[in-house]
């Protein structure tokens, strides 16, 4: 059984993961409106992935005999700016998610909850990938600067995530 503290924190993480999905869906819409389909596709896939993360926590809480408590999801911002602005926001958001996952892991260690540590290990590794991906795109966008041709090429690279 999960400790009360870890259960509450995992329920809060479900909300954070769903907010992330909502945020990335809003970013996808932003890119669709800007006719940047590669970026929009990348964000749409990211939104689905965040939904899956929420579902993993949902299932895990039930598997451990806990009660899932879903809370309201905050509305994401809707004005994002340039692709570089957006991916810097993604980068910061993923760092915040990493901090949250690390807090969950620390609580599992404090509780001597080895099963939760094993479960959370997947998320720790996932966050390394999430931060790497965001940092990579920020790097590409910084390299191309304001070049429309460069932006067009990066947009094409973003389509490849679906392949």
Q: Residue 155 is part of a domain; what is its CATH number?
A: 1.20.1260.10
| C-alpha–C-alpha distance, residues 62 and 78, integer Å | 34
Judged against a pLDDT cut of 90, whether residue 146 lies above it is answered with: no
What range defines the domain where residue 57 resides?
4-162
Percentage, residues of the chain above pLDDT 70: 99
Judged against a pLDDT cut of 90, whether residue 78 lies above it is answered with: no
> Computed from CA positions of residues 18, 11, 125, 100, in that sequence, does the dihedral angle turn out positive or negative?
positive
Judged against a pLDDT cut of 80, whether residue 163 lies above it is answered with: no
| C-alpha–C-alpha distance, residues 72 and 87, integer Å | 25
Judged against a pLDDT cut of 80, whether residue 161 lies above it is answered with: no
């Amino acid at each position: 059984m999960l400790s009360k503290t870890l259960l509450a924190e995992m329920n809060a993480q479900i909300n954070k993961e769903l907010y992330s999905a909502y945020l990335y869906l809003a970013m996808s819409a932003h890119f669709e409106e800007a006719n940047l389909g590669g970026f929009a596709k990348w964000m749409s896939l990211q939104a689905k992935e965040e939904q899956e993360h929420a579902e993993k926590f949902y299932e895990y809480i039930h598997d451990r005999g806990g009660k899932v408590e879903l809370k309201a999801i905050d509305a994401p911002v809707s004005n994002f700016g340039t692709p570089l602005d957006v991916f810097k926001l993604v980068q910061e958001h993923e760092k915040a998610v990493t901090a949250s996952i690390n807090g969950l892991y620390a609580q599992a260690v404090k509780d001597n909850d080895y099963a939760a540590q094993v479960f959370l290990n997947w998320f720790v590794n996932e966050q390394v990938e999430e931060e790497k991906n965001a940092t990579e795109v920020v790097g590409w966008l910084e390299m191309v600067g304001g070049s429309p041709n460069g932006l067009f090429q990066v947009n094409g690279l973003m389509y490849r995530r679906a392949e």
